Amino acid sequence: MPAIIGALVIIVICIIVSCIKVVPQAQSYVIERLGAYQETWGTGLHVKMPIIDRVARKINLKEQVADFPPQPVITKDNVTMRIDTVVFYQITDPKLFTYGVEKPMMAIENLTATTLRNIIGDLELDQTLTSRETINTQMRAALDIATDPWGIKVNRVELKNIIPPAEIQNAMERQMKAERERREAVTRAEGEKKANILVAEGEKESAILRAQAEKESAILKAEAQKEKMIREAEGQAEAILKVQQANADGIRMLKEAGADEEVLKMKSL
């Protein structure tokens, strides 16, 4: 009898312990009672009714990432390509997420594929390759509205990779190569043009400087010639002045020596 009582006590303790649940941070537990939704547990310590209550689902409330495989899509100009998408979502209502749709991730994947096909179907190839931000915004808005009844909020949608057909890739590579060669030719031509302009400007400045140097040289020569002529004229004038002074001194000396008038005439002559 004591053994039976001890076993019953152990069973009761195990049942009580199993009914005590601790919900971690950023998680929620959906509780069902007799198969029907009862409540949603948040973070903390909770106790459920034994046997009749059960944890139907454990929900992660963190932002999650769903990386879906590339989906085939057709553009407006009938080009088939494959697009790899990444969806960032967060569960906002655990009850709706549990009971709103069967296999929510499969539903999001299919919804992403159909939405992407609808958007890309209205764009041509070039627009698809250059309008990633627009496509991301349109997809996020469409998915957020569609997944709201499922208790899911789509925060961001990113086109991770766009894979066009091989022939399109080759054509794009050839086009890019031709564009790079054209830019290289334009750059080279602009460089040569600038070099020619710089050479012409250098020659022009050189000619101007040469002309200025010749002008200044001519001015200096003229001034030197003028100075020379002035000095020569001054020298000649000074020589004449000295000759006249010498003559005058000679006549004065003759007069002082008492020379007669005829001697003075002869001397003056």
Q: What is the CATH number of the domain that holds 82?
A: 3.30.479.30
pLDDT at 3: 72
Tell me: do 124 and 77 sit in the same domain: yes
Report pLDDT for 211.
Answer: 85
The whole domain housing 69 covers 64-164
For residue 98, being part of any structural domain is answered with yes
CA gap 80, 76 in Å, rounded: 10
Where the chain has pLDDT below 70, the residues are 1, 171-172, 250-251, 253-269
Q: Is 119 within a domain?
A: yes
What pLDDT score does 60 carry? 92
Structure confidence at residue 267 (pLDDT):
58
Enter the pTM of the model.
Answer: 0.59
Quick one: 21 and 97 in the same domain?
A: no
Provide the pLDDT for residue 94.
92
Query: Tens digits of per-residue pLDDT, 89-128?
Result: 999 999 999 998 888 888 998 999 999 988 888 888 888 8
Same domain, 80 and 160: yes
Does residue 140 share a domain with residue 50? Answer: no
Residue type for 243, please?
V
pLDDT of residue 255: 65
Q: What is the pLDDT of residue 269?
A: 58
Could you tell me if 45 and 75 lie in one domain? no
**% of the chain surpassing 70 pLDDT:** 90
Boundary of a domain, candidates 132, 164, 196: 164
Q: What is the DSSP string of 13-77?
A: HHHHHHHEEEEPTTEEEEEEETTEEEEEE-SEEEE--TTTEEEEEEEE-S-EEEEPPPEEEE-TT
Query: Which pLDDT does position 263 carry in this prediction?
Result: 56
Q: What's the number of domains the chain is made of? A: 2
pLDDT at 213: 84
Supply the pLDDT for residue 65. 92
Please, what is the end-to-end C-alpha distance for the chain in angstroms?
185
pLDDT, residue 93, reads: 92
